[in-house]
């Protein structure tokens, strides 16, 4: 297959207002986005340790400089000069200026016992140090060349705290660390650092998307979203992890990670397995997975849908290296416990179907399927469990637990039969376990049993395909029928196009033999990402990106669909 090599991936340019500037492993970034739907005029250094916190803002000594961002270098450019920034490593940002001064101002204005930053000059090496109550970390600014002037050193209470870097040519290093580290020493030149990061990112893209061609022009940008949102093991996270974004969605959720693992599988198999397993590190004694995990927080108030059997099947089909025997056993045990949670803790006695306790459990927080009742036995949940039980049965045989396999297959048959009882002749419905009241059917959620299409009658698969086609817009499958009274253009799961739902229905349709419709869905979603980037979700009628604009599962779903499309093209 052809692959475009005219432009190196590191020459990629992106809008810093849409995608943060960061580096694999770092827990901080440079961005104007400083909080939930909050964007500032100036770029800020934003940390994601103990939450999302703007630490300092960068104020160039010029009106409206041009901002240029690439994977390796960020620039503020004016006719008179420029300031450039590069990540030296995952905890150090190097900056240099030529003909342009830069003020690095404290992003908080007041120091109290519980908030704000304290600025002082370290008497050991003369570096300026900000200590942040919000992150519990220190931010040290060391002069490499030129000079700095400090305002507000040792100031308590309200007042300006800032560091001015100036001179015809100047250079500084900004480090994020905990209590102490040796004085900073520049061991490589700025230009060498840029070249190093360019080479690192180019290698990453070559591993993740070696198949890219003119048919997949956003592959490098999608790879950057993943690479730059990867954080090193720190806090609660004991593995290298891809957070959903280095904007405010700076967590790992317990289904999002599956899509990121799938994107990495062929070229970075070890990293893919780590992404798949990361949330299982936090499995509770009942077998439940957490809702989300980040640096300093693990939430168990909700769960997420059990798509892990589905994801494991796809992961192993494309994994560039096989799972080791010990990994197979560990994954089997974890997946079995997760499944038993649904079977033992989320089924009413005498009911074969498990239930969600809220839309958040499904990942479709406010979908219209939950409008009549929040606690429902949902068809998507039943289908996911059928797929997961079949995956467990196969794994059980591999790890020599044949008797387990018999039990898993019996459960799968029981749940499949109960799922078919949710079919009303035209669509699947959800039902409240106590009243038996049926849900509405205008949500794409009700079509997700297509993921279990090999287990469903052909007639039902055909009707599901027709139903999914009703949801299809020029940009992909809307999560709510656009002619429904409940449709909302920016209604989260009540209308917008989302990446995971797109991939799930596309995969199910393809397994059902509905390849023409699957091809249309894949094509439209890929063109949407190439036009509107990797937003959390998209307006189904205009294609505009909505909410968080640098979301990793969207980038991963683009990479997954693009890779599979390239493979089909190569196969003829």
Name the DSSP letter for residue 501.
Answer: H
Q: Answer positive or negative: Cα dihedral of 312, 313, 318, 321.
A: positive
The 10s digit of each residue's pLDDT in 282-341 is 999 999 999 999 999 999 999 999 999 999 999 999 998 899 999 999 999 999 999 999
pLDDT at 163 over 50: yes
pLDDT average, residue stretch 53-82: 96
Please state, as a whole number, how many other Cβ atoms lie within 10 Å of the Cβ of residue 235.
Answer: 16
List beta partners, residue 84: 75, 96
| Cα–Cα distance measured from residue 16 to residue 550, given in angstroms and rounded to the nearest whole number | 10
**Whether pLDDT at 186 is above 70:** yes
As a whole number of Å, the CA-based R_g of the chain is: 25
* Predicted pLDDT at 1: 33
Helix (H, G, I), strand (E, B) or coil at 60: strand
- The SS3 call for residue 105 is strand
In this prediction, residues 269-290 reach a mean pLDDT of 98
What is the distance between the terminal CA atoms of the chain, rounded to a whole angstrom? 10
| Domains of the chain, first to last | 25-178 (2.70.98.50), 204-567 (1.50.10.10)
pLDDT tens digits for range 506-565: 999 999 999 999 999 999 999 999 999 999 999 999 999 999 999 999 999 999 999 999
pLDDT of residue 4: 42
Cα 206 to the center of its chain, rounded Å? 20
* C-alpha closest to that of 174 among 96, 60, 75: 96
pLDDT over 90 (residue 446) = yes
Helical segments of 302-450, H only = 308-318, 325-340, 359-362, 379-398, 402-420
137 to each of 346, 383, 463, how far by Cα in Å? Answer: 41, 45, 56
Spell out the residues 6+ positions from residue 506 whose beta carbon is closer than 8 angstroms to its own: 518, 521, 522, 525, 561
Task: Report how far apart, in Å, the C-alpha atoms of 9 and of each of 27, 73, 481, 535 are.
Answer: 23, 13, 38, 20
The whole-number pLDDT of residue 113 equals 60
Q: Are 73 and 85 in contact (CB under 8 A)?
A: yes
Q: What is the pLDDT of residues 393-435, one digit of tens each?
A: 999 999 999 999 999 999 999 999 999 999 999 999 999 999 9
Q: Write down the pLDDT at residue 109.
A: 63
User: Residues 52, 45: contact at Cβ < 8 Å?
Assistant: no
pLDDT-based confidence at 572, cuts 50/70/90? confident
User: Is the model's pLDDT at 139 over the cut of 90?
Assistant: yes
* Token pair 């249309």 in the structure block, residue: 520
CA 504 – CA 501 distance, rounded (Å): 5
The mean of the pLDDT values for the chain is 96
- Short-list 70, 90, 67, CA closest to 21: 70
Q: Return the residue matching tokens 């590190």.
A: 281
Q: Quick one: CA torsion of 205, 73, 186, 151, rounded to 10 degrees?
A: -140
pLDDT tens for each residue of 78-112 = 999 999 999 999 999 999 999 999 999 999 766 56
pLDDT bin (cut points 50, 70, 90) of residue 3 is very low
pLDDT for the residue numbered 358:
98
**Does residue 2 surpass a pLDDT of 50?**
no
CA 480 to chain centre: 23
Element (H, E) at 94: strand 92-98
Rounded Cα–Cα distance for residues 189 and 145 (Å) = 11
Confidence of residue 157 (pLDDT cuts 50, 70, 90): confident
| Residue 522 to residue 510: CA distance in whole angstroms | 11
Residue % of the chain over a pLDDT of 70: 98
Q: Name the pLDDT band for 175 (thresholds 50, 70, 90).
A: very high
User: Each residue of 31-51: pLDDT tens digit?
Assistant: 999 999 999 999 999 999 999
Q: Exposed, middle or buried by CB within 10 Å (0-12, 13-18, 19+), for 507?
A: buried
In this predicted structure, the answer to whether residue 252 has a pLDDT above a threshold of 50 is: yes
Beta bridge partners of 472: 477
Strands of 292-294's sheet in order across: 252-253, 292-294, 297-299
Q: Measured between alpha carbons, how far is 514 from 454 in angstroms, rounded to an integer?
A: 12
Query: What's the farthest any 2 CA atoms get from each other in the chain?
Result: 78
């Amino acid at each position: 297959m052809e692959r475009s090599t005219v432009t190196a991936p590191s020459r990629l340019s992106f809008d810093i207002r849409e995608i943060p500037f960061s580096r694999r492993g770092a827990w901080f970034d440079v961005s104007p986005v400083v909080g939930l739907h909050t964007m500032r005029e100036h770029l800020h250094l934003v940390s994601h340790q103990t939450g999302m916190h703007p630490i300092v803002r960068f104020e160039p000594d010029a009106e409206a400089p041009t901002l240029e961002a690439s994977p390796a270098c960020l620039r503020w450019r004016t006719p008179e000069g420029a300031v450039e920034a590069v990540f030296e490593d995952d905890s150090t940002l190097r900056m240099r200026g030529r003909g342009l001064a830069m003020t690095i101002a404290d992003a908080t204005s007041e120091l109290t016992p519980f908030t704000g930053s304290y600025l002082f000059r370290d008497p050991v090496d003369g570096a300026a140090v900000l200590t942040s109550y919000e992150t519990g970390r220190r931010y040290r600014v060391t002069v490499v060349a030129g000079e700095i002037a400090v305002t507000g050193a040792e100031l308590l209470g309200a007042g300006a705290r800032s560091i001015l870097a100036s001179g015809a040519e100047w250079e500084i290093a900004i480090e994020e660390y905990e209590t102490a580290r040796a004085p900073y020493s520049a061991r490589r030149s700025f230009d060498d650092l840029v070249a190093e990061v360019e080479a690192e990112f180019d290698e990453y893209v070559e591993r993740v998307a070696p198949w890219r061609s003119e048919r997949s022009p956003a592959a490098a940008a999608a790879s950057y979203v993943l690479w730059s949102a990867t954080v090193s093991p720190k806090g609660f996270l004991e593995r290298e992890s891809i957070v959903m974004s280095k904007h405010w969605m700076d967590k790992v959720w317990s289904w999002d990670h599956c899509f990121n693992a799938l994107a990495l599988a062929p070229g970075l198999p070890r990293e893919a397995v780590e992404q798949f397993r990361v949330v299982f590190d936090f499995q509770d004694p009942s077998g439940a997975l957490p809702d989300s995990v980040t640096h300093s927080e693990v939430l168990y108030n909700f769960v997420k849908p059990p798509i892990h059997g589905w994801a494991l099947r796809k992961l192993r089909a494309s994994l560039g290296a096989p799972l080791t025997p010990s990994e197979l056993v560990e994954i089997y045990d974890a997946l079995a416990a997760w499944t038993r949670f649904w079977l033992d803790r989320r089924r009413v006695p005498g009911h074969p179907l498990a239930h969600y306790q809220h839309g958040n459990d499904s990942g479709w927080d406010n979908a219209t399927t939950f409008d009549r009742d929040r606690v429902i036995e949902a068809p998507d949940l039943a289908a996911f469990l059928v797929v997961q039980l079949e995956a467990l049965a196969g794994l059980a045989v591999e790890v020599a637990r044949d008797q387990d396999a018999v039990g898993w297959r019996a459960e799968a048959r029981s749940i499949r039969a109960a799922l078919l009882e949710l079919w009303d002749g035209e669509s699947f419905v959800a039902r409240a376990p106590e009243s038996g009241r049926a849900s509405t059917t205008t949500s794409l959620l009700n079509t997700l049993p297509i993921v279990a299409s090999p287990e469903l009658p052909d007639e039902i698969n055909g009707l599901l395909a027709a139903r999914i086609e009703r949801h299809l817009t020029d940009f992909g499958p809307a999560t709510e029928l656009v002619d429904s009274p409940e449709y909302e253009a920016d209604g989260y799961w009540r209308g917008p196009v989302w990446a995971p739902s797109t991939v799930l229905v596309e995969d199910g349709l393809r397994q059902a033999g509905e390849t023409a419709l699957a091809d249309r869905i894949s094509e439209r979603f890929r063109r949407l990402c190439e036009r509107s980037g990797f937003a959390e979700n998209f307006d189904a009628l205009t294609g505009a990106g909505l909410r968080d604009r640098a979301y990793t599962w969207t980038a991963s779903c683009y990479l997954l669909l693009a890779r599979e499309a390239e493979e089909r093209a190569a196969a003829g």
